[in-house]
């Protein structure tokens, strides 16, 4: 091959490489702009975007966004189940807080002073007294958790926002705690200092999140399994026995509800969610609301007063309790009547189109007491379908 041909091929190869690099860049396959810069740019362009939504737009997890602020507005806290539990044991030091748990379609916010929960003779938390204590009623599984941060940043009305934010191993928010007073700032700072991770990095590795998909029903149960389900159902003495029954019979929750019999469970229409809350509000029926993320369930117990609709969200906007429900996400619901040793306990559960539970409601009642006839009347009037 002569010198001219070699030179021509070199030029063609170089031009091809440049074209390929340009194509990869246009497709987003080349080295991207640093996440911190993209996040800062998005905040300027869309200042009201929630970090959870911003993370989806940027193709990362919310925890990874928070990590970009380490060294400025965020401090990485020690992780691991022991540390997570120890942080929560210290929450009474913070006084009044706002605790927030959410999933994609519902947000529960509860404010109140934290008091140590009551415990039984064996040291277990007494149901109904809350893990954090007082109005902050939490149930969680720290095995799902991956990271934690303290975040101090400008808040609304010129005030400084101080929060503890917990994320699962996929980087999705599990739970957030906001300091809701000015008297315990020093206690907040000390807690952060006590749990500050030695190495403060702006990069965070997370596991790939499971692809969203429908809840897959198990194999069709046999007639013997259905008979066992119905017999066991009527032998329940506590609402917490139901999940154990599902595991024993290898049934999904909705499989069991479909098979249990029309007197014990029936399907209701999606608009029943708003109807339930509005009827409970107007008739002064206190309720219990259960909202879960991956690794945390938060419970509100009490009355509902002020409600409103804003865009796609239906909201409860009371002074110490907020609930935000994405109405279009509610595909259907179930009324479930569980036997217990204190009579029938009726819950109302709502699901998305994939079969994931969004939110769960009960009547507010003291432990060992029957639910009110008013609650049963409200539930009985919900539209079936």
Q: What pLDDT, in 10s, does the model give residues 250-261?
A: 889 999 999 999
- In total, the chain counts a number of residues equal to 385
Count CB atoms within 10 A of the CB of residue 300.
Answer: 26
Alpha-carbon gap, residue 63 to 65, rounded angstroms: 5
d(CA 176, CA 209): 20
User: Higher confidence at residue 291 or residue 122?
Assistant: 291
Which pLDDT does position 140 carry in this prediction?
A: 84
Q: What is the pLDDT of residue 279?
A: 98
Give pLDDT, residue 128.
56
Among the four given CATH numbers 3.40.1570.10, 3.40.109.10, 3.40.50.1000, 3.40.190.120, the one describing domain 36-135+143-195: 3.40.1570.10
Assess whether pLDDT exceeds 80 at residue 327: yes
pLDDT value for 337: 95
Where does the chain hold its CATH 3.40.1570.10 domain(s)?
A: 36-135+143-195, 223-381
Check residue 17 and give its pLDDT. 43
Q: How many CB atoms lie within 10 A of CB 154?
A: 10
Question: Which is more confident, 218 or 168?
Answer: 168
Taking residues 363-373, what's their average pLDDT?
85
Asked if the 223-381 domain carries CATH number 3.40.1570.10, the reply is: yes
Q: What is the pLDDT of residue 20?
A: 41
d(CA 250, CA 192): 43
Across 30-47, average pLDDT: 83
Q: Residue 133: which pLDDT band, with cuts at 50, 70 and 90?
A: low
Q: How far is 111 from 184, CA to CA, in rounded Å? A: 15
Lowest-confidence pick of 124-128, 220-224, 370-374:
124-128
| Residue 219 vs residue 187, higher pLDDT | 187
Instruction: Find tokens 């509860």 and name the residue.
Output: 110
- Tokens for 220, please give them: 């069709």
Q: Residue 31: its pLDDT value, please?
A: 42
Sheet containing 265-268: give its strands across: 137-140, 296-302, 287-293, 357-363, 345-351, 332-338, 265-268
- What does the pLDDT look like over 71-84, one tens digit per residue? 999 999 999 999 99
**What is the reported pTM?**
0.86
Q: What is the mean pLDDT of residues 2-17?
A: 46
97-125: pLDDT as tens digits: 999 999 999 999 999 988 777 777 776 66
Mean pLDDT across the chain, nearest whole number? Answer: 88
Q: What is the pLDDT of residue 235?
A: 87
């Amino acid at each position: 091959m002569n010198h001219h041909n070699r030179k021509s091929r070199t030029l063609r190869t170089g031009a091809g490489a440049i074209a390929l690099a340009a194509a990869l860049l246009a497709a987003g396959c080349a080295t991207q702009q640093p996440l911190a810069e993209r996040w800062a740019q998005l905040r300027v362009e869309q200042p009201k975007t929630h970090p959870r939504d911003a993370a989806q737009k940027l193709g990362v997890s919310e925890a990874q966004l928070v990590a970009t602020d380490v060294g400025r507005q965020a401090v990485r806290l020690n992780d691991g189940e022991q540390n997570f539990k120890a942080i929560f044991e210290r929450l009474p030091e913070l006084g009044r807080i706002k605790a927030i748990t959410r999933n994609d379609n519902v947000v529960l916010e509860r404010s109140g002073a934290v008091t140590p929960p009551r415990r039984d003779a064996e040291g277990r938390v007494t149901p109904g007294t809350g893990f954090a204590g007082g109005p902050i009623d939490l149930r969680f599984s720290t095995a799902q958790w991956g990271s934690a941060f303290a975040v101090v940043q400008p808040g609304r009305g010129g005030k400084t926002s101080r929060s503890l934010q917990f994320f699962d191993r996929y980087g999705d928010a599990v739970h957030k705690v906001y300091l809701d007073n000015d008297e315990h700032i020093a206690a907040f700072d000390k807690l952060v200092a006590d749990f500050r991770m030695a190495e403060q990095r702006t990069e965070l590795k997370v596991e790939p999140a499971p692809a969203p998909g429908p809840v897959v029903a198990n194999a069709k149960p046999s007639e013997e399994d259905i008979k066992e389900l119905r017999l066991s159902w009527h032998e329940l003495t506590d609402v917490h026995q139901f999940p154990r029954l599902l595991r024993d019979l290898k049934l999904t929750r909705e499989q069991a509800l479909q098979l249990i019999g029309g007197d014990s469970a029936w399907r209701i229409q999606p608009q029943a969610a708003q109807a339930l809350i509005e009827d409970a509000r107007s008739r002064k029926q206190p309720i219990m609301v259960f909202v879960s993320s991956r690794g945390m369930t938060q419970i509100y117990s009490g009355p509902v007063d002020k409600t409103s609709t804003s865009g796609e969200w239906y909201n409860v906007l009371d002074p110490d309790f907020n609930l935000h429900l994405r109405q279009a996400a509610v595909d259907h619901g179930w009324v479930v009547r569980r036997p217990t040793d204190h009579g029938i306990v009726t819950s109302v559960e709502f699901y998305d189109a994939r079969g994931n539970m969004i939110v769960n409601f009960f009547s507010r009642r003291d432990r060992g007491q029957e639910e009110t006839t008013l609650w049963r009347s409200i539930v009985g009037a919900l539209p079936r379908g």
